[in-house]
Amino acid sequence: MSRIPPMDRRAKLEHQVAIVTGGGRGIGRAIALRLAAEGAAVTVAGTGGDHLQATAEDIHARGGRALVSITDVADEPRVERMVAATLDQFGRIDILVNNAGVTGPTAPVTSVSLEDWERTLAVNLSGAFLCAKHALPHLIRQRSGRIVNITSVAGQMGYALRAPYAASKWGMIGLTRTLALEAGEHGITVNAVAPGPVAGERMTRVIERRAAELGRSAEEVTNAYLEPTALKRMAEPEDVAATVLFLVSGEARSITGETVTVSSGFRV
């Protein structure tokens, strides 16, 4: 007969320190709050100061520790300062969640400007690269750590009218697998989470722009996102946050180089 282990109600991330980019709204905010609820001190980073401050205040109100870092992840000196500020404030880094991203243009490739293409890849892909580049030396030195990259189901399929976004998310999966190989010998895991349509302000804007480009109603476009899902509904930011929590916990210590889809069963 197998032995059932006793329940352990200790915080899963006690004494750990996390950086969550894009931590002011939506998925990033949900991740920051969930990690803090499990005992982690959290640096919430991004460009929206008011939203970041609101997230940090919510963490403080619940008895947690948080630091706000105004950081454009596509700017390497600012990323370096974000990492340094986290170390100055909390003394270590254990978790990096690369969530910061922009939606990019909604248009056919023939209408996408080079500026929009480059900015989308700079934030979504180069930003994750830069954050990993500057956090990894500290994780390697302590021979432990977790990196989670928030990609998208757009990185697993073709996505008409969203070429820069899709390319950046495909690239993030490749970056995840490569970092996992490089960091594994140091006791560091690197995984990706690929959300499908996630309810919230960002998805509302995506639907509105797609409807305008296609000459359809927002309701029609919404249904087009819901129909390929098994559950016939969008995921919630908290669903993604719960998956991230699992991947950064000790329970996922043997999972690395993987992409976990959180999409209500989205298939095309």
Please list the active-site residues.
165
Side-chain half-sphere CA neighbours of 130 within 13 A = 23
Could you tell me which residues are beta bridge partners of residue 145?
Answer: 188
Q: Which residues pair with 45 in a beta bridge?
A: 21, 69
46, 21 contact by CB (below 8 A)? yes
The single residue listed with the structure tokens 């986290």 is: 86
CB-based burial label for 213 (10 Å; 0-12, 13-18, 19+): middle
Instruction: Give the whole-angstrom CA distance, residue 154 versus residue 6.
Output: 41
CA 27 and chain centroid, separation: 7
Distance CA 258, CA 151 (A): 11
> Residue 17 and residue 131: Cα distance in Å, rounded?
15
CA distance 85 to 82: 5
- Spatial CA neighbour of 63 closest among 90, 91, 40: 40
Lookup: tokens for 154: 């757009």
Q: How many residues are there in the chain?
A: 268
d(CA 23, CA 55): 7
